[in-house]
Amino acid sequence: MVIVMDHNATEEQIQTVMQRLEAAGYRAHLSRGVERTIIGAIGDETQLGDAGIEMLPGVANVIPIMHPYKLASRIMREEGTVITIGDVEIGGETVQVMAGPCAVESKEQLFEVAEKIRASGARILRGGAYKPRTSPYSFQGLAEKGLQLLAEAREKYGLLIVTEVMDPRTLPLVAEYADIIQIGTRNMQNFYLLREVGRYQKPVLLKRGLSATIEEWLMAAEYILSEGNPNVILCERGIRTFETYTRNTLDLSAVPVIKHFSHLPVIVDPSHGIGKFRFVPPMAVAAVAAGADGVMLEVHPNPVEALCDGAQSLTPKKFAKTMRQMAGVARAIGRKM
């Protein structure tokens, strides 16, 4: 980190900072400028901390210069992580599609979607059994019954399943059923839940928090990785801004940024990011163009009757069309689908 001293800092204040840094384990380099004195502190900030420097007299500002994540950093693994589940690879050459309803509502609903998305080429079925809802009066999911239906659909249609866990107490159950465990946007900084999924080896789909910086998102991944689970898939799903014509603002630039700073695979969920079905297909296609390793899409046989998020769900027919467009763009940029 770099410490900028006040323009009128005394020599004694400067020495106090130097001594404190060195006592904390840093090597301190002093640079006296015409206007300001700055001190460079060389050492592992993630281990040594900030040493309380910011509160010392004469200190104007403390600027961290290293990224706080280590295991999630591309430096750890230049070639990029590929997560393999059966014959499905996430983070490899093929762009993977995860599709399905917001919530599992019934066997009929789920199986119809499962059949259709499989026919369109998707390999992973999404569906919520436990639903985080803004209102306590909204449908909260079928719980274990929903997990069972997902497992049945997996068998019948040859799909993998991804479903959300919201509570450490139900994690063992969810982990028993799911191929990929989803951590939702509202739980991105539920650190106890992160640690718990870190103790499994099952792949974890970690959605970006609604107002999380990319750095905080990678730090949330770091929680999982630091417990021993290397199988983390990041999922951009829109951030909160002042714009009101869309539900959120889908930050597609997170894709190349993540690819640069981290080795982890990253996918995009335009359904939640946009929130209006008519704008989802072009953004799904754009996500592939931006370099995403996968796309997650909400598909419902009859969005008008959906118990959850119908307004952002595609019909199976629109989904099939979107699949064809995504595949065309994947080929154009040298990937498969």
Q: Does the protein bind a second copy through residue 15 (CB under 8 A)?
A: no
Residues 90-119 that bind a second copy (CB under 8 A): none
Burial class (CB in 10 A: 0-12, 13-18, 19+), 225: buried
- Closest separation in Å from C-beta 193 to a second copy: 8
Type of residue found at 288? V
Residues 191-220 that bind a second copy (CB under 8 A): 191-192, 195, 210-211, 213-216, 219
Q: Which residues contact 77 (CB under 8 A, 6 or more apart)?
A: 263
Q: Does the protein bind a second copy through residue 153 (CB under 8 A)?
A: no
- 264 in Cβ contact with 82 (< 8 Å): no
Q: Does the protein bind a second copy through residue 134 (CB under 8 A)?
A: yes
Residues 302-321 that bind a second copy (CB under 8 A): 303-306, 310-311
Closest CA to 161 of 175, 172, 143, 171: 175
User: By CB under 8 A, which span of 98-106, 111-119, 133-141, 147-155 interacts with a second copy?
Assistant: 133-141
Residue closer to a second copy (CB basis): 23 or 155: 23
Residues 19-38 that bind a second copy (CB under 8 A): 27, 29, 31-36, 38
> In angstroms, rounded to a whole number, what is the distance separating the alpha carbons of residues 196 and 193?
5
Q: Does the protein bind a second copy through residue 246 (CB under 8 A)?
A: yes
- Closest separation in Å from C-beta 124 to a second copy: 22
For the stretch 35-67, what's the b/e string if a residue is b when 16 or more beta carbons lie within 10 angstroms of its beta carbon?
eebbbebebebeeeeebebeebebbeebeeeeb
For the stretch 247-284, what's the b/e string if a residue is b when 16 or more beta carbons lie within 10 angstroms of its beta carbon?
bbebbbebbeebbebbbbbbbbbbbbbbbebebbbebb
> In angstroms, rounded to a whole number, what is the distance separating the alpha carbons of residues 123 and 229?
23
Type of residue found at 27? R
Residue closer to a second copy (CB basis): 180 or 306: 306
Find the binder of a second copy among 10, 256, 317, 336 (CB under 8 A). Answer: 256
User: By CB under 8 A, which span of 87-95, 99-107, 116-124, 249-257 interacts with a second copy?
Assistant: 249-257
User: By CB under 8 A, which span of 1-9, 99-107, 113-121, 155-163 interacts with a second copy?
Assistant: 1-9
Residues 48-87 that bind a second copy (CB under 8 A): 49-50, 52, 54-56, 61, 63, 65-66, 68, 75
Q: Which residues contact 89 (CB under 8 A, 6 or more apart)?
A: 82, 83, 96
User: By CB under 8 A, which span of 87-95, 119-127, 154-162, 167-175 interacts with a second copy?
Assistant: 167-175
Q: Does the protein bind a second copy through residue 336 (CB under 8 A)?
A: no
